[in-house]
Amino acid sequence: MTNANSFYRPRSGLDLLEKTADDPRERERAVLESFARIEEVEPEVRAMTAVAQREAALTSAAGATGPLAGIPIAVKDIFDTSDLVTGYGSPIYAGYQPKSDAAIVTLLRRNGGIVIGKTVTSEFAYMTPPVTRNPCDLTRTPGGSSSGSAAAVAAGIVPFAIGTQTGGSTIRPASFCGIAGYKPTLGMLPTVGMKCFSWSFDTVGLFGAGVRDVAFFAQALSGRSLALGGVTAGPVFGVPDSYPWTAPSANASDALDTAVRAIEQAGGRVRRVRFAPWMAELVAAHDTIQSYEAYQSLGFEYDHHRVDLSPMLAGFLDRAARVDTATYIKACVLAEQAKARLAELFDGITGLLTPSAPDEAPEGHASTGDPAFNRNWTLLGCPCVNVPGLRGARGAPIGVQVICRPWDDARCLDTAAFAEQAIAAAVRRFPAT
C-alpha cells in the first residue's frame, strides 16, 4: 500500500501455524505479537472493544491442543464471551458480562484457538458506522457490520477473526480491507449465543489473510474437509451480464475484467450468464424478511430503550414495524421458491464471479458501504468468498466474489483459491494492474 497512513499488514494464519506447531515458545511469541500490534495500531485503527488478559492468554496458548493450537483469534462483539464484556455495539449493553460463551467461541477454544479480544461491530450488526477505520487508508470505512474483525486481520492484530453476515457484513469489509472473507452456507457454523438480528439470514463469517487461510480456519471449526492443498484446474466461472440490484461502478467493473483476464490466462474458463427475473424479486424479499425479523429480535431494545438506539437503527425499526405477517410470509415463500431454482442458476458453471461491492471503500465514515452485491446470496444461503489481491483506480483494495450453491463450500473455496492464485500471478506480471 502506498497511503502514508496505511496500517495494512495482514499475516497468514497458515504460516503462523507452521511456526507454532509443537513449539510453546513460538506460541507465546505469536500471542505477544498480537498484544504488541494492538498497542501499536489500536489508537488509530480502533478495531477492538475488549482485550484478553495477557497472562491468561499466554497460559492458554502454552497448553493448547488442536488444529488452531495457540493461534490468537479475534471475535466480533456480537457473540457472547464469558471472560470478556459483550456490548453488541450498543450503549444499552455497556459493561454487560455474559455467563457463557457463544457456540462458535466454544468451538474456537476446543480447537486450541486463543481469543485475544473482541472486535468492534456496528450497532446490533446493522449499518450504523462504528469508530473503526480502514487499516489500508484511515480516511476510509472498513465496511460493516464486521468492521473490527476485518480491520484486525488487515492490520495484522490477528491472523483469523470471526464476523457475521446478514446482508453483506463479511464479504464487503473483506473487500474494503484487502483480505479474504468467507460466508459459509447458512447453518454450517452455529449462531447460538450470537445477538440475533434476522434468524433467517444471520451467518457466521470468517476472515483471514488469504483464501487458503479461511479454508483452513473453516475446516478447523466445522469438521468438514475444506482446507486446500492443490487447487483444481480449469474451473468455469459464470459472469453475469448485468445485475438486477445496482450496477457496479466503472472501478468495480474494471477490477472484475482484470480478474476475468487473469483467470483465463491461468487456464480457467468464463461464461456469460443472465439472471432470471426472480433474482430481481429477491432484493425486496430480503428487505421484507430482515425487517420483520429484526423488529421482533430487537423488540425489547426498541420497546424499552429506543432513546439509546442510533437514529439510523431506530428509523429502520420504525419502518420495520409496518411489515405485516402476510407480507412476510409471501416473501418467505418467494425465497424458498428461489432456492428450489438454484440448480438452473449454476448449470454448467463451477461458481459465479461478481464484484464483492459496488466500489472501493467509501471515503469518510458516514457509511459502511452498500451490501447490494451480497444480500441475495445471503438470502439464498449460498457460500461466498471475497478474493483479495486487486486495487481500484484510487488505490484502495477492491475484491471479487465467488459464489456457489448451498453446501458446495469446498468447491467454492477451491474455486476462489484458483481465482486468487490467478490474480496474484497477473499482478506479478503487470504490477500496475
pLDDT score, position 3: 55
Q: Give the tens place of pLDDT for each residue, 280-337.
A: 999 999 999 999 999 999 999 999 999 999 999 999 999 999 999 999 999 999 999 9
What are 239-283's pLDDT values in tens digits? Answer: 999 999 999 999 999 999 999 999 999 999 999 999 999 999 999
How many angstroms from the chain centroid is the CA of residue 1?
Answer: 21
The answer to whether residue 6 scores a pLDDT higher than 90 is no
Provide mean pLDDT across the span 386-411.
Answer: 97
Does residue 76 have an active-site annotation?
A: yes
Nearest to 285 by CA among 200, 168, 368: 200
Provide mean pLDDT across the span 55-66: 96
Segment 216-242, tens digit of pLDDT: 999 999 999 999 999 999 999 999 999
Checking if the pLDDT of 2 tops 50, the result is no
Domains along the chain with CATH numbers: 13-222 (3.90.1300.10)
Strand partners, 37: none
Instruction: Report the pLDDT value the prediction gives residue 7, as an integer from 0 to 100.
Output: 97
pLDDT at position 432: 58
pLDDT at 433: 47
Quote the CA–CA distance of 228 and 428 in Å, as a whole number: 22
Q: What is the distance in angstroms between the CA of the first residue and the CA of the last residue of the chain?
A: 13
Please state, in angstroms and as integers, the Cα–Cα distance from residue 340 to each residue in 286, 287, 337, following that order.
Answer: 16, 20, 5
Cα 417 to Cα 351: distance, rounded to the nearest angstrom: 12
Q: Return the residue matching grid coordinates 414495524.
A: 321
- The sheet carrying 203-208 orders its strands as 48-51, 114-119, 72-76, 160-165, 203-208, 180-183, 384-387, 400-403, 351-355, 236-240, 269-273
Q: Which of 34, 60, 76, 122 is catalytic?
A: 76
DSSP letter string, 264-309 = HHTT-EEEEE---HHHHHHHHHHHHHHHHHHHHHTHHHHHH-GGGS
Q: Give the rounded percent of residues in the chain with a pLDDT score beyond 70.
A: 99
Whether residue 213 contacts residue 12, with contact meaning beta carbons closer than 8 Å, is answered with yes
pLDDT band at 24 (very low <50, low <70, confident <90, very high): confident
> Is residue 14 over pLDDT 50?
yes
- Residue located via cell numbers 424458498: 336
- Residue 432's contacts (CB-CB under 8 Å, 6 or more residues apart) are none
pLDDT for 22 equals 82
pLDDT in tens, 130-187: 999 999 999 999 999 999 999 999 999 999 999 999 999 999 999 999 999 999 999 9
- For residue 145, indicate whether it is catalytic: yes
Catalytic residue among 60, 90, 122, 145: 145
Judge contact between 136 and 177, C-beta under 8 A: yes
Average pLDDT, the chain: 96
pLDDT computed for residue 1 by the predictor: 41
Q: What integer is the mean pLDDT of 13-23?
A: 92
The mean pLDDT of 31-59, rounded to a whole number, is 98
Query: Mean of the pLDDT values across residues 379-389?
Result: 98
Determine which one of 147, 169, 175, 291 is catalytic. 169
Q: Is the pLDDT of residue 192 over 60?
A: yes
Asked whether the whole model's pTM tops 0.95, one would answer yes
- The cell for 29 is 511469541
